[in-house]
Chains A and B, each alone.
Chain A
C-alpha cells in the first residue's frame, strides 16, 4: 500500500543552519505530496505542496521538489530560525483519493 517514510528525529540545529528533512514515498500512480507543520500546541498547518513530478513547492523559505525518479520530496531551508522549531510531517494523497497518508513526523528544534 501507499506509505511515507521520513527522516528519524529529533533534529537539533543552530540558528541560520541549513536544514534538510528527508522524505521518501511508495505509491501507485502519481500522488500529490505535502509538507505539514505542527507548531507547539497547535494543529497541522499546510506548509507547501507539489502535485506533479518536478514541481517545486515553496513557502516561508522552505522548499521541496517532487522527484519521481527517486520517489522523494525532501524539505529544505537555507537558514533556519528559532521560530521554525516544530514537528514536520510529509504526506501523500493518491490521485483521485481522499485519504492522506502521513509519515511519522520529524521534530525540529532550533537553538539560538
Chain B
C-alpha cells in the first residue's frame, strides 16, 4: 500500500539554525500538507500546497517557514531560523484531491531545538 514517507525521523538543531524537513507524498496525490504537534498539545495545521503554490496557511506559518516541491516527488518544509518553540513533531500529509478528501499522514519528524 502506498504511503507518505518523511526524513529524517529525528532532528536536533541549535536555535537560529535552518532546518529542512523532507516528505515524499503518495505518488498520484496532488495536495500536500504540513501539520505539527507540540508535545502534549493538539495536532495543528500549518499549510496546504497545490499546483506549486500555497493554497492555505495558518497564522503559525509566518515568514520563518516556507514550503517547496523541488522535484516531482519531494515536498519540503524549511524553517529559516529555528526557535525553541519550534520543537515539535512535524507531520506531512497528502490527498488525492482537495475539498474534503482523506489526508494520509507520514510517520513524522521529531524536531528538537536547543
Contact = CB atoms under 8 A, between A and B. Distances in A.
Interface size on A, as a range, is 20 to 34
A102 B36 CA distance: 11
B42 A51 contact: no
Nearest to A44: B105
Interface string A35-65: 0100000111110010100000000000000
B103 interface: yes
A33 to B, nearest CB: 11
Interface residues of B, number: 26
Contacts of B58: 99
A101 interface: yes
Most buried by B among A36, A89, A94, A97: A97
B87 interface: no
Nearest to A42: B107
A105 B42 contact: yes
Interface of A: 31-32, 34, 36, 42-46, 49, 51, 89, 91, 93-105
